Amino acid sequence: MSPHLKLACILAAIMVTPSLAAMSLLEAGKASSALALLALHAALGLALLPFLAKAILRFVVYRELEELSVFSARLRRGGLPEPFALPVEAEDEHMLIRLKRNLNWMLHLLEDREKRLLWRLEETDKMRRDMEDLSRRDPLTGLGNRRAFEDALARTGSEAFPERHLLLIDCDKFKQVNDAHGHQAGDEVLLVLAGILQDSVREGVDQAFRLGGDEFAALLCCRELQARDVAERIRMRFRDVNGRGSTLSLGLTSVRSASEPGGAAFETVVARADAALYAAKGSGGDRVSVG
């Protein structure tokens, strides 16, 4: 039963019942008895008013608050899965003051736990993003891996660039470098190439990838003549600085979305760039071929 309904029942019993009884006596012609009953009711009401007020307050309000106070004490004792460290209570302290302090302290603790939970969620989300980023990066060079390359190629149809070109890159004589100087020397050659690619692409516009082994790729958002210039600069710089006699074969082709007029599927685009790459290798390497 709600406190409001409890109070209504008590007031009805105290105030309405004597009035009804007096009305019954008046109807029966016993006016003097009715007046005596009303006078007695008024006298008793005045005499017992402080006690009645306390009783009503206890029954209607304090009883509900007592349950909250007991709940607070249970929290302090660790009666729930995660206890609250509530402040120490004085035995002679008024229940309302005690309850108010306990509830304020609980609110403070809940706010603190909420902040810590939000911080942990942010940390977890950051770790998830970092792990996702790591899963899309080549561990040796730091460039995007094959998964990142495929995702980027699949998104090219939605990017607002007038022209896009795919550049596939393969190291010539890379096996000879590994055989003659060891795998560490081979890794150094790959790192040199990765650094040249990072310097040659524009951050936030172009992208560079290591597809595996000595195979690399770049997505260039520019016209064909500019893409050829970029490919030639990569080829010549690598030849001059790698220090192991390795060169590059590069295959360049235009990337067009399948939704565009004359567009081809992305697998066809990769196959076309791959064919251009092997045409360059077949011609002796150290060259750029356009497909």
The confidence band for 32, taking pLDDT boundaries of 50, 70 and 90, is confident
Active site residue 214: yes
Residues 164-194 have pLDDT tens digits of 899 999 988 888 888 888 888 888 989 999 9
- The CATH homologous superfamily for domain 146-290 is Reverse transcriptase/Diguanylate cyclase domain (3.30.70.270)
List 214, 229, 274, 286, catalytic entry: 214
Locus of tokens 């009035």: 19
The confidence band for 2, taking pLDDT boundaries of 50, 70 and 90, is low
Kindly give, in sequence order, each residue whose CB lies less than 8 Å from that of residue 35, ignoring residues fewer than 6 positions away: 22
| 3-state DSSP assignment of residue 160 | coil
| Sheet strands (E) in 137-202 | 164-172
**pLDDT over 80 (residue 33):** no
**pLDDT over 80 (residue 147):** yes
Kindly give, in sequence order, each residue whose CB lies less than 8 Å from that of residue 274, ignoring residues fewer than 6 positions away: 168, 251
Domain spans of the chain, in order of start: 3-75, 146-290
The confidence band for 94, taking pLDDT boundaries of 50, 70 and 90, is low
Give the pLDDT confidence score for residue 261 in this predicted structure: 44
Locus of tokens 């094959």: 146
Give the pLDDT confidence score for residue 229 in this predicted structure: 92
Higher pLDDT, 104 or 149: 149
Residues 278-291 have pLDDT tens digits of 898 888 888 898 88
* Separation CA 26–CA 36 (nearest Å): 11
CA dihedral for 225, 227, 231, 233, sign (positive or negative): positive
Tell me the C-alpha to C-alpha distance, in Å, between residue 13 and each of 36, 56, 245.
19, 12, 107
Residues 69-90 have pLDDT tens digits of 676 666 666 555 555 555 566 6
- Residue 1's Cα: distance from chain center in Å? 44
In contact, 181 and 244? CB cutoff 8 Å? yes
DSSP 80: S
The pLDDT mean for the chain works out to: 76
CB-facing half-sphere around the CA of 107: CA atoms within 13 A: 6
